[in-house]
Structure 1
Amino acid sequence: MHTGSHYRLKEFLRWTRHSIFFLFVIALIPTFFYEIAGWKWLGIPWVPIALIGTAAAFIAGFKNNATYDRMWEARKIWGAIINSSRTWGIMVKDYIKDNDPETEKEIHRKLIYRHIAWLTALRFQLRVPKEWENIHTRKYNREYRKRYPVPEWETDLAEELKPYLSESDRQYILGKKNRATQLIALQSRYLKELNQNGGLDTLCLVEMENVLNDFYVFQGQGERIKNFPYPRQFASINLFFIRLLVLMLPFGMLNEFDKLGDHWVWLTIPFSMVVGWVFTSLEQVGESTENPFEGSANDIPMAALSRTIEIDLRDMLDEEDLPPAIQPINNILM
């Protein structure tokens, strides 16, 4: 997530420079042959290009709205996780009692730390690359990613879980395919044991199980976005329309600038580049918003949100050695 007021123009131009170079080449070639070789037949009427531009603008706007909705839904999911995590913390503190204060404190710590382990496992699962994601396949995304680290790719899940789980629980979870799911199952099993041993009232058990159910719902919502891409047919047609438009733009501008007089036709190059850049940038921005968990600069900052939850929950345990909040690097918060 970008935390500045906006992307700087220099930053944006650097991110889109491959498209700019491509636009320069496809504008230079027809202009050169039109003016130097005298191939006047290269100029085509503007009307069909305008019609293609209208269609491209429509489909680009549709895609950007849809991808923004995917990103915003992902942010709402993590916002709900924050709220329910705080609810989980106060339920653990207020509902679970034991005659021995130290035992009670250890039970509270175990349930809260296991929840932090769930957050950790969930964000690692949501960062696993998918074949339709763009962060690794697009050169400009790979280059820009050098400006910030993705915590889930810089560390190992097994090591990250060590502070939050007992060794037996950690080994059990690491042997499972869906670690986050099994951590919630462990929580439920432990609550049942507490209820059977008299440490948790049945009504309170039901309330806490409802919160665990909410965590399953949030996890499933995140997995739905992660595992179901923006429909490929819409992504493809958007790409095809915009590429067709930028290829035809210089041909439509040749006659228009030639009417202005000798040598004015060379203005075709900068003007077709500017118009083409607008459309290719719309495509690139929409593409970078398609997958809000892939690890791009525009992603949901799951590591930072998880750290916020961890600080709040450990503060409820009256711990003093709290971890610091994660800070953005080059204005990118992950």
Structure 2
Amino acid sequence: MILHNGITLRQLIKGSAGFICIVMAWIFLLELVDKITPMALFSNSSPPVTMLGLAVAFFLGFKNTSAYGRWVEARKVWGDLVNASRDWGNTIGNLVQTDGTPIDPEIRRELLERHIAWVNMLVFQLRQPNTNGRSRRPWMFGHKPVSDKTALHQDPECWRTSQLEIDLPRLEGKSNQAAFLLFLQGERLSKLAQAGRIDPYWHVALTNRLARLADDQGQSERIKNTPFPRQVAEVGRIFSYIFIFMLPLAFNDERSITIGLELPLIQSVLLDWLVFAPVGALVCWIFFVTERVSASMEDPFEGDVTDVPISAICRMIEIDLRQMTACGAIPHAAEPIDKTLL
């Protein structure tokens, strides 16, 4: 997630400098062709280009709204996961046995550490490359990918170090290890209830909390494994490039500042180009950036700089739970990298 002041005009231009150069060259080529041809090849092109621009603008608006809704939904799911985790920490921290005495500290530590391990495992699974979605872009709004500067929960060691030693052998070979950790939590609670360590009320209450966590995991996996509709994404991108390709034609009717002047061909072309190319390139660039904005929000868990910062949220959950229960060393909060929170 790009933080405040993380995007500047300079970065936007830097991230799209190649596109701007191509558009400027295309406008120059059209101006040159228009000057050297005896017939007005591009005359009366404004009406169709205008109609196309309106259609593309409406479609991009729909695409942006859909992509942003997907990003917001992912953030809401993780907001609920934060609340559910705090509820879990509060409940485990105040859990009592059937005789009214506090639960064994080792049991409390086990239930808490396994929950932290589950959050780390879930983030790791969500960060894995998705073959169903789009390919990651090398640049996004002037920001390079920062996966080379942090594990981003993409290295298996980032979750192995958070697991309980007793759980590691049972996790081997499981296709959904995060879901299996929730099963281990439920299994542990059942054993405590069978041994009479916790009464049935606490067992049911804690099981219901596990169900809420499983629901949050399922919603996250639904967003992760259901790619943004490619027909919407690709058609929007193609329509944008068609409009960008045709937009310079609409300026042909206005290129008349050299009419009546006795100027060499190249000088006439350059003069008209210097007057109209910046305006045409600006309009094309706006449509280009608008399409990129929607593309940046299509897959909110891939680890791009514009995604939901689930690694930072995971660290925040761990800090909150350890401060609540005084269990284990409290880590430092996640720090922004290049004005992005991951």
Give, in whole Å, the separation in 1 of the partners of 2:333 and 2:98: 33
Does 1:287 pair with 2:295? yes
Aligned residue for 2:265? none
1:17 Cα offset (Å) = 2.1
Aligned residue for 1:66? 66
- Cα contact 1:307–1:326 (8 A) shared by 2: yes
1:6 Cα offset (Å) = 5.0
Does 1:265 pair with 2:264? no
Question: Which one-letter code corresponds to 2:280 in the other structure?
Answer: S
Aligned residue for 2:35? 35
Aligned residue for 1:51? 51
Match 1:178 to one of 160, 176, 189: 176
Aligned residue for 1:329? 337
Aligned residue for 1:160? 159
Residues 301 and 139 (structure 1), Cα distance of their counterparts in 2 relative to 1, 3 Å cut: closer
Give, in whole Å, the separation in 1 of the partners of 2:328 and 2:179: 30
CA-to-aligned-CA distance 1:17-66 (integer Å, 9 cap, x gap): 23222322322221121135556313442000000000000000111111
Aligned residue for 1:303? 311
The TM-score with structure 1 as length reference comes to: 0.91
Q: How many equivalent pairs are there?
A: 332
| 5+ long unaligned stretches in structure 1 | none
The TM-score with structure 2 as length reference comes to: 0.89
1:142 Cα offset (Å) = 11
- Cα contact 1:2–1:331 (8 A) shared by 2: yes
Residues 44 and 160 (structure 1), Cα distance of their counterparts in 2 relative to 1, 3 Å cut: same
Q: Secondary structure at the match of 1:85?
A: helix
CA-to-aligned-CA distance 1:189-213 (integer Å, 9 cap, x gap): 0000000011111111111111111
Aligned residue for 2:264? none
1:103 Cα offset (Å) = 7.3
Query: Which structure's CA Rg is the greater one?
Result: 2
Question: Which one-letter code corresponds to 2:272 in the other structure?
Answer: V
Residues 232 and 268 (structure 1), Cα distance of their counterparts in 2 relative to 1, 3 Å cut: same
- Cα contact 1:31–1:268 (8 A) shared by 2: no
Matches within 5 A, 1:33-182: 33-36=33-36, 40-97=40-97, 104-134=104-134, 136=136, 138-141=137-140, 144-147=143-146, 149=148, 151-153=150-152, 156-166=155-165, 168-182=166-180
Question: Which one-letter code corresponds to 2:13 in the other structure?
Answer: L
Residues 174 and 146 (structure 1), Cα distance of their counterparts in 2 relative to 1, 3 Å cut: same
Give, in whole Å, the separation in 1 of the partners of 2:170 and 2:149: 26
Percent of aligned pairs with the same amino acid: 32
1:284 Cα offset (Å) = 0.7
CA-to-aligned-CA distance 1:219-246 (integer Å, 9 cap, x gap): 1111111111111111122112111111
Residues 276 and 303 (structure 1), Cα distance of their counterparts in 2 relative to 1, 3 Å cut: same
| 5+ long unaligned stretches in structure 2 | 262-267
Give, in whole Å, the separation in 2 of the partners of 1:333 and 1:319: 26
Does 1:22 pair with 2:29? no
1:159 Cα offset (Å) = 4.9
CA RMSD across the alignment: 2.5
